[in-house]
C-alpha cells in the first residue's frame, strides 16, 4: 500500500489539484491507501436540501430517485448532488484500517461508526440500493466508502439505536454552533423549527437564553405549529411563509413587542429563504445559515440591499465536540428522544 494525502487529494480525478469536495470526480476504488479506512456502508443520510431537490426532480418516484443516486455516484465517485452541491453522511462498519492509522485512531475492525464529513467528498461505491425512506432522507445500501486520514467520525454509542444516533449526528453541527453563538437574554428566531435540526437548535437555545430571553420557532402551517407548541422547546411559535420575508418580519414583530431579534438560525431545506433570515435580525445581530440550500450571494447582496449590518455565519457542519453535544441532547431530553425515536427508527 502507498500513503495518500491526508486530505484525499490523491483520489481526485478531475480537476487535478482540487480537494475532494469541490472536485467533479474522485476515485472510489475500494483498495485503500495506508492512511485510509474502508467502511462497509449500511445507510446514507442524504442531506435535506439535496433530498428535497431529488424528490422534486423525480416527481416523488422512488425508483427514479434510486436511479439518480446511482447515476451521480457512478459519474462522480461520491454522492454529491449536482444541483445543491451537498451530500450528507453515512453509517457503517469498519472493514479495514490502513496500517499507518492503526496506532493513531481508536477504531477496530467491526466498529460501527457514523462519518462526520460530507458525502460530497467521500469516495463511495454503491452495489445496490436496498430501500429509501423518503420522509427521513435515508437510503439503505450495499456498498463501500473510504474515510481519509483527516476525516472525522463518531462511534455509534451503545445506549441508543444506530438509526437514532444517525439522525442526531446528521445535523450535529447545528445545535453545537447554536450553543456557541446564543447567549443568556438573547431573542432567537429559528426558521424550520419543526425539522430535525430545528428541534435540536430550539431545545438548546431555550436552555441557554434563560428567563430574560426568547426563542421563536417558525412553522409553515397550523399542524406543525401545534406540534411545536407541544414540545415546549420554544417560547413562541409563528406561522409564516418563509418565501415572504415581510410576512416573517411582521409575525416576529407581532410576538416580540415590535422588535427585531438578536439571532436567526436557518434550518430550512429549500432555496430563496435568505432574506427571511436576515430581515428580522437587528443591526449587530447574527444570522446563522445551517441550510445547505442557502445562496451566499443572495445573502450578502440581500443584506446590503436592505441596509442590514449583521454577522452572517456559514453553516459549517463541524465544530469541536459537536457529536457529543448532539447525542447528549437526546440523553438529556426525554421528549426530544421520543420524537426522534418515533420518526427516525424505521
Domains annotated on the chain, with CATH:
9-156 (no CATH), 173-340 (3.40.50.720)
- For residue 340, pLDDT over 80 is answered with yes
Instruction: Average the pLDDT over 321-341 and give the result.
Output: 95
Spatial separation of the C-alpha atoms in residues 174 and 160, rounded to whole Å: 20
More confident residue, 320 or 66: 66
Query: What is this structure's pTM?
Result: 0.85
Within 8 A by CB and 6+ apart from 105, the residues are: 37, 97
Residue 97 forms beta bridges with which residues? 37
Question: Going by C-beta distance under 8 Å and a sequence separation of 6 or more, which residues neighbour residue 223?
Answer: none
The C-alpha cell that represents 344 in the structure block? 427516525
C-alpha span between 43 and 124 (Å, rounded): 12
Which is more confidently placed, 304 or 163? 304
Q: Count Cβ atoms below 10 Å from residue 106 Cβ, excluding itself.
A: 7
DSSP state, 107?
-
pLDDT in tens, 179-229: 999 999 999 999 999 999 999 999 999 999 999 999 999 999 999 999 999
Where is 97: in which H helix or E strand?
strand 88-97
Strand 153-155, strand 138-147: pairing = unpaired
Cell numbers standing for residue 272: 430563496
Report d(CA 298, CA 59) in Å as an integer: 27
Q: Which tens digit of pLDDT belongs to each residue from 128-179?
A: 999 999 989 999 999 999 999 999 999 999 899 988 998 899 899 999 999 9
Task: Give the other-Cβ count within 10 Å of 319's Cβ.
Answer: 15
One-character DSSP codes across 293-309 = T--HHHHHHHHHHTT--
Return phi, psi of residue 283, to 5°.
-55, 135
| Total Cβ atoms within 10 A of residue 78 | 27
What whole-number percentage of the chain has pLDDT above 70? 100
Rounded-to-integer distance, Cα 151 and Cα 118, Å = 9
Amino acid at each position: 500500500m502507498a500513503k495518500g494525502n491526508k486530505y484525499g487529494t490523491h483520489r481526485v480525478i478531475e480537476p487535478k489539484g482540487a480537494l475532494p469536495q469541490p472536485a467533479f470526480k474522485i476515485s472510489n476504488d475500494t483498495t485503500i491507501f495506508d492512511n485510509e479506512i474502508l467502511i462497509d456502508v449500511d445507510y446514507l443520510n442524504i442531506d435535506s436540501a439535496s433530498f428535497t431537490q431529488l424528490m422534486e426532480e423525480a416527481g416523488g418516484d422512488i425508483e427514479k430517485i434510486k436511479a439518480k443516486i446511482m447515476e451521480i455516484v457512478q459519474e462522480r465517485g461520491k454522492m454529491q448532488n449536482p444541483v445543491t452541491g451537498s451530500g450528507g453522511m453515512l453509517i457503517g462498519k469498519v472493514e479495514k484500517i490502513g496500517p499507518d492509522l492503526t496506532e493513531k485512531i481508536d477504531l477496530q475492525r467491526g466498529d460501527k461508526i457514523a462519518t462526520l464529513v460530507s458525502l460530497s467528498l467521500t469516495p463511495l461505491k454503491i452495489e445496490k440500493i436496498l430501500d429509501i425512506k423518503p420522509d427521513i432522507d435515508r437510503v439503505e445500501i450495499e456498498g463501500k466508502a473510504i474515510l481519509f486520514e483527516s476525516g472525522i467520525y463518531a462511534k455509534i454509542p451503545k445506549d441508543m439505536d444506530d438509526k437514532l444516533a444517525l439522525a442526531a449526528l446528521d445535523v450535529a453541527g447545528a445545535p453545537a454552533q447554536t450553543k456557541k453563538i446564543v447567549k443568556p437574554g438573547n431573542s432567537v428566531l429559528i426558521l424550520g423549527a419543526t425539522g430535525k435540526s430545528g428541534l435540536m437548535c430550539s431545545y438548546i437555545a431555550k436552555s441557554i437564553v434563560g428567563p430574560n430571553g426568547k426563542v421563536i420557532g417558525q412553522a409553515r402551517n397550523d399542524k406543525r405549529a401545534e406540534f411545536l407548541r407541544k414540545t415546549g422547546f420554544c417560547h413562541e411559535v409563528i406561522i409564516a411563509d418563509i418565501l415572504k420575508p415581510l410576512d416573517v418580519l411582521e409575525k416576529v414583530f407581532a410576538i416580540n413587542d415590535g422588535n427585531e431579534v438578536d439571532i436567526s438560525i436557518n434550518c430550512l431545506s429549500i432555496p430563496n429563504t435568505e432574506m427571511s433570515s436576515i430581515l428580522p435580525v437587528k443591526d449587530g445581530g447574527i444570522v446563522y445559515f445551517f441550510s445547505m440550500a442557502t445562496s451566499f450571494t443572495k445573502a450578502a447582496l440581500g443584506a446590503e440591499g436592505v441596509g442590514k449590518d449583521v454577522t452572517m455565519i456559514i453553516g459549517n457542519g463541524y465544530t469541536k465536540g459537536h457529536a457529543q453535544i448532539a447525542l447528549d441532547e437526546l440523553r438529556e431530553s426525554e421528549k426530544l428522544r421520543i420524537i426522534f425515536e418515533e420518526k427516525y427508527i424505521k
